Amino acid sequence: MADESTNQGIPAPEGEADIIDTDYEIGQDNIETQIGPIGVDIHNPVFPVSGFVIVAFVFYALALPDQAATFFNWLRPAVTSTFDWFFFGAADLFVLFCLFLIVSPWGKVRLGGNEATPDYSYIGWFAMLFAAGMGIGLMFYGVSEPMSHFSSSFGGTAVPEGGGARTDWAPLGAAAGDQAEAVRLGMAATIFHWGLHPWAIYAIVALALALFTYNKGLPLTIRSAFYPIFGERVWGWVGHIIDILAVYATLFGLATSLGFGATQANAGLHELFGVPTGATTEVILISVITVIALISVMRGLDGGVKVLSEINMGLAFLLLIFVLIAGPTAVILSGFASSLMAYIEYLPALSNPVGREDVNFSQGWTAFYWAWWISWSPFVGMFIARVSRGRTVREFVICVLLIPSLVCVLWMSVFGGTAIHQVLSDGFTGAQDAALELKLFKMLGELPLAGITSFVGIVLVVVFFVTSSDSGSLVIDTITAGGKVDAPVPQRVFWCIFEGAVAIVLLLGGGLGALQAMVISTGLPFTVVLLLMCWAIFRGLLTEAR
Amino acid sequence: MFSKIMVPVDLAHAARLDKALQMASDLAHLYQAEVVFVGVTTSQPSSVAHNPQEFAAKLDSFATEQADKRRITASGHAVVSHDPAVDLEATLIEACNNIGAGLIVMASHVPSVRDYLFHAHGGRVAEKAPVSVLVVRET
């Protein structure tokens, strides 16, 4: 006879479950068939429509490059300048909502039931938080952004003759001629873009998906978070459109980043090792990254992306410690405290949605960043949700919002602080003058063991690209399989190759910039999606056992 | 010869397992062995169950049903895998060690060209398992 005690794989009862009673069965809309030798299990219509729309947009960008570039390059700034107040207000609300969840009684709710145990250790979990979207950005902007804001702040404000909007790019009222204050403002503005706000955006999406997947029993796909709003209609076209939009933003976001990343990596390799620049090298780079991502994808979540994320976290930590020790240690450490204080001090003014005088900064930098993070949030949020079962809401928000924000403060203080110190104390302007992709390497070049640290830097860039591509393929595969996380492996292989192919086609045919502008524009509809998710989280938590 | 026989089951496609189930049952009678049905699930909801607990309960009912139908001693053993599309074989082998099974009876599809790229689960388990594996072709 059956003996329940033998179920050792699931050791203890996992507590009360508040499963949503729906007639929908996961996979009921899926097509499970054999295409040649390959078995597939795909959602109809999300998989075919997403694929078709992506191919159609690639053709549009290639067939009418000027028209596409003109349109999307108009659309992106139009969105961020017209709706800047909306992005600012929404992002502020996400931060406040997350902070509220930490202190609210719902902080005790555990994802997966009140006895559920975490799927991953803290180390593995933290490493994977950075794998999907943030890691690569820290590599490229860790040196460049603090420097940009420091320079523009130090330069002061500029108003055209006869009045009008300011023409400078400095945050807030700048700090003309005041070196110390320009450093503080520059660091505060940088941390603002990489701290609480982006992580709150990711946390909202991740928490909504985790709650409706693990506690409510709905499929792991974006539409599930909308069940409290649309009810059973979420399994129809409303849900299809939400999922297709998420696939579309994720794939184009990844492909355009991969395309631009290859260009930047090529420039870096040229500078460091004299590797020739050009389309051939860039195509080889995209292919190499895609092949490594493919191997990782085929090794699965634990054997692939988790292992790579942990390696990268270890390497990034070593590089951070090295720069801290080899660089101006005392300046960096005092800079960390001072940057954190400056961030807290300037946060209300920087996050103010209305009446801004620093239009270039608030629209060109902040609103751009908010749209960017929001357009990436379905991808990053869903990946975080996938690995976050077993955490309480409080633990989840602290670990996805506060700790990564602090890591970003530390990273920016060490890398940006060192580069700024090189300018101010040593008069070395190499990093300041260099192109974006070279700033990190120029800064490292001034420190000992530059050959080794530059090599580590390149490995970090490549592996962060690989983990982005890998986790992106897993996310797209899950959405296009109707929330099934165990769909056949060839499907995720397909998305991984497809993403590399789109990047290569756009790189060779032109159109990377246009499509990236379009992806960022999707930040606007997704802001509405995220606001609805806040409401859904609230509704979902109300019925949970605390 | 064997005190425990492990039979991996895919509850979403239980109907396809008939030959393997019959074979396991015959061997269980022959060796007076207990049959342990092993099911691998995910933390996320699937077409079979909303959560791992519900999956374990369904596997137990499956085991009870089989025990009654085939007059064998049977139990369920559910295991959670983070990524079963890739880790299925490793998860099954770990389950085999935990259970202490002496034989695995496993259904498998007929090999085809795709097995060069993506291994058949039965073949991989047979290659790596520490105990005897009987791979039963379903067609």
Nearest by CB to A7, from B44, B67, B78: name it.
B78
Greater confidence (A126 vs B119) lies with A126
d(CA A482, CA A368): 31
ipTM, interface predicted TM-score of the complex: 0.89
What residues of chain A lie within 8 A of the CB of B110, using their CB? none
B134 burial via Cβ count (<10 Å: 0-12, 13-18, 19+): middle
Tens of pLDDT, residues A475-530: 999 999 999 998 889 999 999 999 999 999 988 888 888 888 888 999 999 999 99
Q: Using a CB–CB cutoff of 8 Å, tell me whether A303 touches chain B.
A: yes
Question: Inter-chain contact A300–B79, Cβ cutoff 8 Å?
Answer: no
Tens of pLDDT, residues A67-104: 888 998 899 899 999 999 999 999 999 999 999 999 99
Is 70 exceeded by the pLDDT of residue A5? no
Structural domain spans, chain B: 4-137
Residues 36-55 of B with CB under 8 A from A: 36, 42-47, 50-55
Interface size, chain A vs chain B, as Cβ–Cβ contacts under 8 Å = 129
Q: Which residue type is seen at A458?
A: I
d(CA A73, CA B107): 56
Phi, psi of B103, rounded to the nearest 5 degrees: -155, 140
Q: How confident is the model at residue A4 (pLDDT cuts 50, 70, 90)?
A: very low
Tens of pLDDT, residues A153-195: 999 999 888 878 889 999 999 999 999 999 999 999 999 999 9
Q: Which of A214, A287, A254, A272 is nearest to A131 (CA)?
A: A254
d(CA A17, CA B15): 29
Q: Which of A125, A99, A123, A124 is nearest to A111 (CA)?
A: A125
Q: Using a CB–CB cutoff of 8 Å, tell me whether B139 touches chain A.
A: no
Q: What is the DSSP letter of B107?
A: E
Tens of pLDDT, residues A227-262: 999 999 999 999 999 999 999 999 998 998 888 888
- Report the b/e string of A259-279 with b at 16+ CB within 10 A: bbbbbbbbbbbbbbeebeeee
Does CATH place domain B4-137 in 1.10.3470.10? no
The pTM (predicted TM-score) of the whole model is: 0.93
d(CA A495, CA A294): 10
Tens of pLDDT, residues A411-439: 999 999 999 999 998 888 888 888 888 88
Rounded to the nearest 10 degrees, the angle between the axes of helix A237-273 and helix A512-521 is 140
Phi, psi of A12, rounded to the nearest 5 degrees: -130, 160
d(CA B6, CA B24): 8
d(CA A375, CA A201): 10
Question: Inter-chain contact B83–A301, Cβ cutoff 8 Å?
Answer: yes
d(CA A184, CA A200): 23
